[in-house]
Structure formats: C-alpha cells, structure tokens
C-alpha cells in the first residue's frame, strides 16, 4: 500500500508538486481531466508546471456517469496501449468524480500504479481527494465498486476554485461545515460568522477542513472507528441525493444533500439528548440561510428509508448513524429508530427556507 502523505498546500509556484515530480522525471506521466477541468485547469497547471508538458492527456466527459466500468475499460486500455508501468504516474486533475475514477484505475492497473490528486473543486479539496477512497458507480448504485488506495500525495491550489461555479462552491462547503461540526468547535465558530460563502474567505478554512480529514483518515484508514464520524449528515443526505437523482429534473449536488442531511441528523442528535436545542437551531439556521431546500414528497418516506437501509455502511438491517455528541465532537454506530428518522424528515420538510 502507498504511504499516507500529508496534504501539501501548494502556492503559486507549485513547489511541492515540482519536488515530487523530480522522482518521476524518467517515468511516463498521464493527466486525467474531464471536459471542464481540461478547459479551466489544465492550461493553468501546465503554465506553472512545464515539467508536465509531455504528459499524456486522458479526457472523459464532465459527468457523474464517467465514473463507470466502461470508462475504466477505456482508461486501462489506453494505459496499456501507451505502455504504462506501475511506477509511472497518473495525475488526477479535477473534482471528486476524477479522483474517484482515476484513483480506482490506478489502484487496479497492474495491481496498483502511482497516482496523485490535484483537486480542482472545493468538495474534492476538502474531502474526496483525501483518504484514498476510490471507486465507480455500478448498476445505479453509487461507488459500489472500489477500493481504498492512497495517492502519493494531494496538492491543493486554491486558484483553481476561481472558475468553479458558485453552486459547486456551496456544495463543497457542505463538507466544510461537517468538518467543523464533527471535529473542531473553533472552525464551526469561524464558519457560522460567514455572511456569504465565497472563495475569497476560504483559504484558511479549506486548510483546516483538509487537516481534519487527513488526521481522521490517518488514524483510521479502513473506517473501523473514528473515520465513521465523517458520515455525519450522510445517512439521510445520501438518501435525499438518491431521491433527487430519480425525482428531480435537475438533481441536487452531493454537498447540498449533505447539508439537508445535517439538518435532520443534528435534529436527531438534539432529540436523543446529545446536543442542545440551541446548537441544533444554530446549525439549522446557518444551512437555511445559505442553501436552497431540496424538497421531497412526504409520501416517499419508504423509498428514503429503503435507501438508508441499503447504505453500504450498514452492517445489519438497522439504521446506523454518526451523530453529534456536542459541537466539535461526533459519535458513531448509533442505532436510530425509524420513527425518529421520519420525524426529522418531517421537520426538514416543514422548514421555510
Ligand atoms: N472518495 C471520497 O472520499 C469522496 C468523498 C465525497 C465525494 N466523492 C465523490 O466525488 C464526486 C463529487 O465531487 P465534485 O463535487 O467535485 O464533483 P465533480 O468532480 O463532478 O465536479 C463538479 C463539476 O465541477 C467541474 N469542475 C471541477 N473543477 C472545476 C474548476 N476548477 N472550474 C470549473 N469547473 C470545475 C467538473 O467538471 C464538474 O462539472 C462524486 O462522484 C462523489 O461520489 C468521493
């Protein structure tokens, strides 16, 4: 297995990345992009890092559907056709779709080739690119096929965010909120003071959120214990995301669904006497102020609950949650009654955003 390297915060001169590339000067390199990151990020990267000018470029469509076995077959074939070896380097330049897809291709090609992540979306910078979870979707299930395979390193360059649409910034910020709530009360205090969520204010916050994720995955890579706390907001959020994919003409983004999930799961944390009502109201108030509501039909409880039961994080036929013990401290493997889950969904449904 690769070793877990700390996140390198790369500044304008890309020093950390250039240093790593010295180890690959006599190796082949390939940059995996989607149509958007080719358009908005590749030129910037090559301008700063001309060492990569000779790298192959593999491009896939900028859509979640690119996380598929068919695209993997294509990428494995292209690696083979270009005589790539396991010591050559795959560079994932993109959001979480690219790091999940490219990470999985790297994990499986010749039983594991070297790869690095250069995340270009906020969600990928604070979450998806860190921790080695890689995978593709299969038979309508998200991330069903995958592995945990660590990148050699992750390089974060904030300037990429300047071309990221505002809604994608908000989506990524959902995971930043989660980081504060589960692990860092001070970070949450900073977050809740923000009047608007814009990239200008994000540099330090992104750094803190990355460090939280890195610390957690370092101590529990295989999600046996504390890594489960990263799932706060995700049990219900993922069900809402799945619902939205089937029922909304323009489905919500991952982090937007997680924001809704955090309203419900902080409600459950309050109702099970973990956090106070004021804490819950503060969390809810911030999310309501910054996010749009993702609506669902109250008659569709059963499909939402069914998705929660099928959650691959469940090991038995129960609803297993990560909740907040207090702000900045999360707990995991908490069984929650179906009635309380429904109550939290009704609560969300009745909020005026
Ligand atoms: N592995 C993990 O731990 C983990 C964690 C969370 C999410 N994920 C996965 O990550 C994916 C979601 O990540 P995402 O939100 O980054 O989605 P994404 O990769 O689809 O990126 C969102 C959109 O932004 C575009 N984009 C990316 N960077 C850009 C930039 N700098 N300028 C302009 N456009 C840019 C992309 O082309 C895409 O259209 C999902 O597949 C999810 O399952 C993985």
Question: pLDDT tens digit string along 20-37?
Answer: 999 999 999 999 999 999
CA 123 to ligand 1 centroid distance, Å? 6
Query: Which atom of ligand 1 is closest in space to residue 135's alpha carbon?
Result: 1
Atom of ligand 1 minimally distant from the CA of 34: 37
**CA end-to-end span of the chain:** 46
Q: 96 in ligand 1 pocket by Cβ < 6 Å?
A: yes
Q: What confidence tier does 200 reach under pLDDT thresholds 50, 70, 90?
A: confident
**Pocket flag, ligand 1, residue 36 (CB < 6 Å):** yes
pLDDT for res 185: 97
The confidence band for 8, taking pLDDT boundaries of 50, 70 and 90, is low
User: Residue 4's pLDDT band (boundaries 50, 70, 90)?
Assistant: low
Task: Give the global pTM.
Answer: 0.95
Among 48-62, 298-312, 322-336, the minimum mean pLDDT is found in 298-312
Taking all residues of the chain, what is their mean pLDDT, rounded to a whole number?
A: 93
87/313: higher pLDDT: 87
User: Atom 3, ligand 1: which residue's CA is nearest?
Assistant: 128
- 102 or 317, greater pLDDT: 102
Residue 142, pLDDT score: 84
Quote the ligand 1 centre to 255 CA distance (angstroms).
Answer: 10
For residue 142, the ligand 1 atom closest to its alpha carbon is 43
- Ligand 1 centroid–CA 274 distance in Å is 33
Instruction: Output the CA 163–ligand 1 centroid distance in Å.
Output: 13
Band (267; pLDDT cuts 50, 70, 90): very high
> What is the distance between the alpha carbons of residues 89 and 181, in angstroms, rounded to a whole number?
36
Q: Is the pLDDT of residue 186 over 90?
A: yes
Is the confidence at residue 321, as pLDDT, over 70?
yes
Q: Is the pLDDT of residue 316 over 90?
A: no
Q: What is the reported pLDDT for 275?
A: 97
Mutate to test the pocket of ligand 1, among 59, 93, 126, 128 (most ligand atoms within 8 A of CB): 128
Q: Which residues are known to be catalytic? A: 111, 133, 175, 213, 223, 227, 231, 234, 238, 254
Given a cut of 60, whether residue 2 has pLDDT beyond it is no
CA distance 17 to 39: 21
- Give residue 178 CA to ligand 1 midpoint distance, Å: 17
CA–CA distance, 67 with 16 (Å, rounded to integer): 29
Cα(208) to ligand 1 centroid in Å equals 20
Out of 33, 41, 61, 97, give the residue to mutate to test ligand 1, the one with the largest number of ligand atoms within 8 Å of its CB.
Answer: 97
Model pLDDT for residues 39-56, shown as the tens digit of each residue: 999 999 999 999 999 999
- Nearest-CA residue for atom 4 of ligand 1: 128
For residues 114 and 88, the answer to whether their CB atoms sit within 8 Å is: yes
32 lines ligand 1 (CB under 6 A): no
Torsion of CA 192, 197, 203, 204, to 10 degrees: 0
The predicted pLDDT at position 10 comes to: 65
Q: pLDDT at residue 3 above 60?
A: no
Binned at pLDDT 50, 70 and 90, residue 9 comes out as low
Q: Is 160 in the pocket of ligand 1 (CB under 6 A)?
A: yes
Q: For residue 135, what are the β-bridge partners? A: 146
Work out the percent of the chain whose per-residue pLDDT is above 70.
95
168 C-beta closer than 6 A to ligand 1? yes
In this prediction, what percent of the chain has a pLDDT beyond 90? 82
pLDDT, tens only, 120-152: 999 999 999 999 999 999 987 888 999 999 999
Is the pLDDT assigned to residue 179 strictly greater than 50? Answer: yes
Hey, which residues does 59 pair with through a beta bridge?
33
Residues 172-194 have a mean pLDDT of 97
**Pocket residue to mutate for ligand 1, from 96, 163, 258, most atoms within 8 A of Cβ:** 96
Give distance in angstroms: CA of 14 to centre of ligand 1. Answer: 22
- What's the confidence (pLDDT) of residue 140? 77
Long-range Cβ contacts of 275-280 (<8 Å, 24+ apart): 275/324, 275/325, 275/326, 275/327, 279/324, 279/326, 279/327
CA atoms within 13 A on the CB side of 248: 16
pLDDT of residue 1: 46
Q: Kindly state if the Cβ of 40 falls inside 6 Å of ligand 1.
A: yes
User: Hey, what are 9's tokens?
Assistant: 């915060």
Average pLDDT on 78-92 reads 98
pLDDT score of 57 more than 90? yes
How many residues belong to the chain?
353
Q: Are 51 and 92 in contact (CB under 8 A)?
A: no
């Amino acid at each position: 297995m690769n070793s877990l390297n700390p996140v390198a915060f790369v500044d304008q001169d890309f020093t950390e990345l250039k240093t790593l590339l010295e180890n690959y000067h006599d190796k082949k390199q390939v940059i995996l992009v989607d149509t958007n990151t080719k358009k908005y990020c590749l030129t910037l990267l090559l301008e700063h890092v001309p060492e990569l000018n000779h790298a192959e470029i593999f491009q896939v469509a900028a859509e979640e559907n690119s996380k598929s076995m068919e695209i993997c077959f294509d990428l494995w074939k292209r690696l083979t056709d270009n005589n790539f070896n396991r010591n050559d380097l795959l560079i994932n330049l993109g959001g979480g779709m690219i790091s999940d897809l490219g990470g999985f291709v790297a994990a499986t090609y010749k039983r594991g080739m070297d790869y690095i992540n250069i995340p270009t979306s906020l969600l990928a910078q604070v979450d998806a690119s860190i921790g080695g979870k890689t995978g593709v979707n299969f038979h309508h299930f998200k991330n069903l096929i995958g592995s945990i395979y660590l990148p050699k390193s992750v390089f974060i360059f904030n300037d990429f965010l300047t071309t990221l649409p505002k809604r994608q910034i908000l989506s990524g910020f959902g995971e930043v909120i989660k980081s504060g709530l589960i692990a860092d009360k001070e970070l949450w205090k900073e977050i809740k003071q923000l009047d608007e969520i814009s990239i200008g204010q994000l540099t330090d916050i992104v750094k803190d959120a990355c460090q939280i994720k890195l610390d957690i995955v370092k101590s529990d890579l295989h999600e046996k214990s504390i890594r489960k706390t990263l799932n706060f907001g995700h049990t219900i959020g993922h069900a809402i995301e799945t619902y939205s994919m089937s029922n909304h003409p323009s489905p919500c983004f991952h982090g937007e669904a997680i924001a809704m999930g955090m309203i419900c799961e902080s409600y459950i944390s309050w109702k099970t006497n973990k956090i106070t009502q004021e804490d819950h109201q503060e969390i809810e108030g911030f999310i309501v102020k910054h996010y749009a509501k993702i609506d669902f039909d109250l008659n569709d409880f059963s499909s939402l609950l069914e998705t929660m039961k099928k959650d691959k994080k469940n090991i038995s036929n129960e609803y297993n949650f990560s909740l907040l013990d207090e702000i900045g401290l999360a707990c995991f493997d908490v069984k929650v009654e179906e009635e309380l889950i429904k109550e939290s969904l009704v609560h969300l449904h009745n909020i005026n955003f």
